[in-house]
Amino acid sequence: MEHQAEGMGESAPSERAMVGFYHLTRTTLEEALPALLERTLESGARAVVRCEDAAQVKALDEVLWKVPPLMWLPHGYAKTGQAHRQPIWLTESDERPNEGTFLFRLNGAWDGDLVGFQRVFDLFDGRDEQAVQQARQRWKSLKQAGYGMTYWQQQAKGWAKKG
């Protein structure tokens, strides 16, 4: 089963967010994230991208302004302000000032609860064994907490739903 992240606009049947783990195996986070964000905006949703630190926020800000010409990813972060006007919010803290309903956790960043999110995308680097082990721990914790879970592995083209 190969495609580009099925069900981007669907919400969980209950009030709990649907959690998808995205195992990066062939590209970097900076290469994979723009396409997922584009699909998010196409679905009409707003996104919060939880970065590990301020340096990652700044780096992703630059990446998102340099996407291919046919892709437009309007976004902001604390330095640019006006969160309520930003369909994509980059942050280094557990916040959702743009009222985003899709959360993109980068390598497990986000310690807060998941209330208010319909979808959670947990992206992790499959070439980093420590990141893989940490993702497994997050998976176990969220599954035990009763969240609906899916696992996506990056393929030569697109993503494949596994398990």
What's the CATH number where 39 sits? 3.40.50.10110
Residue 6 resides in a domain = no
Q: In the chain, helix, strand, coil percent, each to 5?
A: 30, 25, 45
Are 48 and 100 a contacting pair, CB within 8 Å? Answer: yes
Percentage of residues in the chain with pLDDT exceeding 90?
80
Judged by DSSP in three states, 140 sits in helix
User: Phi and psi of 117, rounded to 5°?
Assistant: -95, 140
Q: Give domain status of residue 1, yes or no.
A: no
Asked if pLDDT for residue 10 goes beyond 50, the answer is no
Its domain, for residue 73, covers 27-162
Q: Is residue 99 part of a domain?
A: yes
Place of tokens 């176990």: 140
Residue 50: how many other CB atoms lie within 10 Å: 26
The number of angstroms, rounded, from the C-alpha of 59 to the middle of its chain's C-alpha atoms is: 16
**Triad 48, 134, 35: Cα angle to 5°:** 35
In this predicted model, which residue has the larger pLDDT, 69 or 135?
135
Radius of gyration of the chain (CA): 15
**pLDDT of the residue at 71:** 85
For residue range 87-129, what is the model confidence (pLDDT) as tens digits?
Answer: 999 999 999 999 999 999 999 899 888 999 999 999 999 999 9
What pLDDT is attached to residue 69?
77
State the Cα–Cα distance between residues 24 and 31, nearest whole angstrom: 10
Confidence of residue 2 (pLDDT cuts 50, 70, 90): very low
SS3 136: helix
**What's residue 139's pLDDT?**
96
Q: How many domains does the chain have?
A: 1
Give the chain's count of helices (H) and strands (E): 3, 8
Which pLDDT does position 112 carry in this prediction?
A: 85
